[in-house]
Structure formats: structure tokens, C-alpha cells
């Protein structure tokens, strides 16, 4: 799906500020770096004073990268009274007849907890300890997964209080605090890794989608079914948050006539004719797309459509973007196909689409761009 899910996760942290009943305030910083940042692990458990007020810090690294010079600024007393608390994301997840987000969250939590639970927390964190944790962006990007994070925290402990200063789809900058959660320490720590795993993945997808969508304009960016098994709805949700559009959710909500179907049917014409007959006989109304690989196939589709009513709604123009040796692409075949179709159907360019080539492809006149 454009490599969205295979790209780098956006690096986010959840920093815990622990208020004990003693006169000394201890702050534990949980540094949760993105899994895709392959840097040597570094950690320290030696206390060091960073406040003239007598406050001390215990620095604990759970990830692959320390926060470095950012640490002091994050561990200063935080004031958020002047920040507006954002409402829940207005960008809803795409619909699916059988996908259960709550079940996916339950599975993610269960694979982390196993049959025992968080033994480290049980050994080190008092069950009645209250904390406040702040979400920190460690790099620029588009934030995504806020609504899903709310669902995860609620499933772990409905008494946790979560507040956000940004909403899904907003741009965040390195060092920006964009939310907080308060409540029982051991509950927040249990939810932490699952929340960050989802948010980092979704934010990485949304960030790349935003870049692709901006470059492709006026064409619209589509993802595909090439998603991580079990995470399709989550990945497609992130694409929406990033400004992209959803292709079909699965095999059930759109007819997609690919090269294999055409080979079995015998020809482009026979494949479309079979689909038209099937949909009519079963009184089914849904979008129909056919893949074409040559200008001759485009002409064959148009010739069939000119002979009578068809259920066809979109023509895919596959690999009509030809890569050149200098890193550029030749879109002359794509433009000719778009001119032949002349607005009769939606068009979708696919193949040889990258962040570097998508702008040029978007100027060809196609409706959608996918990969």
C-alpha cells in the first residue's frame, strides 16, 4: 500500500511524571523509541540532580535511543493550563462488516501480557501509585492514532483520564507535547507500549500519505489491500488521517478484474461481460474496476462499454508509467490512455509510483494514483 506500512514509524514517547508521598519528587522517564530506528541501545539507572530545588531524576531507557539533550526540558514542571484540550478525532475508521477494533486491541494487549501480566510492574510499581504521563513527538510528522489510543487506555482501565492537545491529522514538531494521561501507574505502563506501537505505525503511514497526497494533487492517493494481516482497518484509517482515500476494503465491497481474472475469462471483453451478467442476475450494485496494461486493452474496454449499459466504473492503467534511466518517468502512455477514456470512467494509475514520481503522474489527468 504505497509502502506506507513498510516505511519508518514516527518516533513518539510517553514520559511518566511520578508524584510520590515523600517530600522528594521522582520523575521516571520511559523512553519508547520507534522499532525501526536501529541505533545502539543506551540506558542509565544512576540518579542525577537536574533541579536546584532538590528534585532528582531516575532515567530509565526502554527503547533503542535516549532522549539526549531533550531530557531536561521534558522533566521540568509542565504547565498545560494555557493549552486547549482537543476533542476526539473527527476522522472515523473506515467501515468493515466483520472487523472488530476492540478485539484487535484485546489481542495486542494479550500478546504483551501473556498469561501472567507485567511482572516488572508488579515487582516495582505500587498498585496505588498515581502518575501523569505526557506524549512527546521526537520528530516532525502527522499524528495519527489518537482515537485508537483512547480505546486502548479505556480497555486497560476506564478510570484513566486522557487529554489531547492535538487531533488526528495535525502536524506535530520534534519536542512537542501533544497529550497526557493520568491515573494508576501500572495501568498506564501496561497500555504504554501497545498505544505507542499503534500510534507510531499509524503516524508513520499518515505522514507519508500526507506527503504523497500533497505531491499528487489534483489526483487522489489510494492505498490497496497490501496491508499487514490483521491491521488492514488500522492502516487504512491512518491513510484517511493523512489525507489519502481508501480503495476497496477487501474482496467483498468492490469488483476488481485483474489480469488473472482476464486470463481465465479469455479476454477483457469476456471478463467485463461475465461481471455484468453476475451482478445483474444477483441484483448487486457496487463499483467495478478493470485492470488494463496496454492502450489496446483500454480501447477494448471502451469498445465494449460503447455497445450498451455496463456496471464498469473505473479503469486501472497499470504500469503505463515507464521509468527512465535518470530516475525520471515517461507518462506519455498514461496521458494517452486518459485522453482515450476522456472522462467516461474514473481512472487509476498504478505502478512505478514513488514520492519522487507521484507529482508528475498526478499531472496526467488520472483520477486516482495507487501502487
- Catalytic-role residue among 193, 201, 232, 371: 193
Query: Residue 91: is the preceding peptide bond cis (ω within 30°)?
Result: no
Query: Which one-letter DSSP state was computed for residue 6?
Result: T
Examine the residue annotation and report whether 258 is marked as an active-site residue of this protein.
yes
Backbone angles phi, psi at 221, to 5 degrees: -90, 130
Distance CA 265, CA 157 (A): 54
CB atoms within 10 A of CB 135: 26
Examine the residue annotation and report whether 318 is marked as an active-site residue of this protein.
yes
Distance CA 183, CA 181 (A): 7
The secondary structure element, H or E, covering residue 183 is strand 177-184
Determine the 3-state secondary structure of 343 from DSSP. coil
Which residues on adjacent β-strands are paired with residue 133?
Answer: 16, 181
Examine the residue annotation and report whether 193 is marked as an active-site residue of this protein.
yes
- Catalytic-role residue among 161, 225, 258, 280: 258
**Which parts of 47-132 fold into alpha helices (H)?**
71-75, 101-113, 119-124
Distance CA 31, CA 67 (A): 7
- Catalytic-role residue among 291, 297, 314, 348: 291
Distance CA 358, CA 289 (A): 21
Q: Which three cell numbers stand for residue 342?
A: 476522456
Examine the residue annotation and report whether 55 is marked as an active-site residue of this protein.
no
- Catalytic-role residue among 223, 235, 297, 318: 318
Examine the residue annotation and report whether 128 is marked as an active-site residue of this protein.
no
Q: Which three cell numbers stand for residue 181?
A: 494521561
Q: Which three cell numbers stand for residue 253?
A: 465491497
**311 CB-near residues (< 8 Å, 6+ apart):** 255, 275, 276, 279, 280, 285, 288
Distance CA 99, CA 205 (A): 20
Distance CA 332, CA 329 (A): 9
- Catalytic-role residue among 226, 273, 299, 360: 226
Catalytic (active-site) positions: 193, 226, 258, 291, 318
Amino acid at each position: 500500500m504505497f509502502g506506507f506500512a513498510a516505511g519508518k514509524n514516527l518516533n513518539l514517547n510517553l514520559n511518566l511524571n511520578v508524584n510520590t508521598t515523600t517530600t522528594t519528587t521522582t520523575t521516571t522517564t520511559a523512553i519508547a523509541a520507534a522499532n525501526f530506528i536501529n541505533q545502539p541501545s543506551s540506558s542509565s539507572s544512576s540518579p542525577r540532580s537536574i533541579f536546584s530545588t532538590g528534585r532528582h531524576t531516575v532515567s530509565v531507557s526502554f527503547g533503542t535511543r535516549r532522549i539526549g539533550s531533550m531530557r531536561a526540558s521534558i522533566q521540568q514542571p509542565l504547565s498545560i493550563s494555557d493549552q486547549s484540550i482537543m476533542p476526539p478525532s473527527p476522522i472515523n475508521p473506515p467501515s468493515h462488516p466483520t472487523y472488530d477494533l476492540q478485539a484487535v486491541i484485546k489481542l495486542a494487549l494479550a500478546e504483551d501480557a501473556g498469561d501472567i501480566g507485567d511482572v516488572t510492574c508488579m515487582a516495582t510499581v505500587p498498585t496505588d501509585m498515581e502518575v501523569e504521563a505526557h506524549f512527546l513527538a521526537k520528530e516532525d510528522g502527522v499524528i495519527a492514532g489518537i482515537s485508537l489510543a483512547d480505546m486502548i487506555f479505556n480497555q486497560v482501565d476506564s478510570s484513566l483520564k486522557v487529554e489531547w492537545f492535538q487531533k488526528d491529522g495535525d502536524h506535530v514538531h520534534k519536542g512537542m507535547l501533544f497529550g497526557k494521561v493520568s491515573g494508576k501507574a501500572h495501568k498506564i505502563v501496561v497500555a504504554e507500549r501497545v498505544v505507542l506501537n499503534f500510534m507510531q505505525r499509524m503516524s508513520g503511514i499518515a505522514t507519508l500519505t500526507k506527503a504523497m497526497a500533497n505531491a499528487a494533487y489534483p489526483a487522489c492517493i489510494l492505498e490497496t489491500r497490501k496491508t499487514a494481516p490483521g491491521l488492514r482497518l488500522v492502516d487504512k484509517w491512518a491513510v484517511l488521517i493523512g489525507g489519502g482515500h481508501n480503495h476497496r476494503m477487501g474482496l467483498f465491497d468492490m469488483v476488481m478484474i485483474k489480469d488473472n481474472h482476464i486470463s481465465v475469462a479469455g479476454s477483457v471483453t469476456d471478463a467485463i461481460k461475465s461481471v455484468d451478467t453476475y451482478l445483474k442476475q444477483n441484483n448487486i450494485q457496487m463499483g467495478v474496476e478493470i485492470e488494463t496494461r496496454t492502450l489496446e486493452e483500454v480501447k477494448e474496454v471502451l469498445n465494449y462499454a460503447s455497445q450498451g449499459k455496463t456496471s464498469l466504473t473505473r479503469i486501472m492503467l497499470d504500469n503505463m508509467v515507464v521509468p527512465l534511466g535518470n530516475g525520471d518517468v515517461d507518462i506519455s502512455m498514461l496521458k494517452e490512455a486518459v485522453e482515450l477514456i476522456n472522462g467516461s470512467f474514473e481512472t487509476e494509475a498504478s505502478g512505478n509510483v514513488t514520492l519522487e514520481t507521484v507529482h508528475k503522474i498526478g499531472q496526467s489527468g488520472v483520477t486516482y494514483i495507487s501502487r
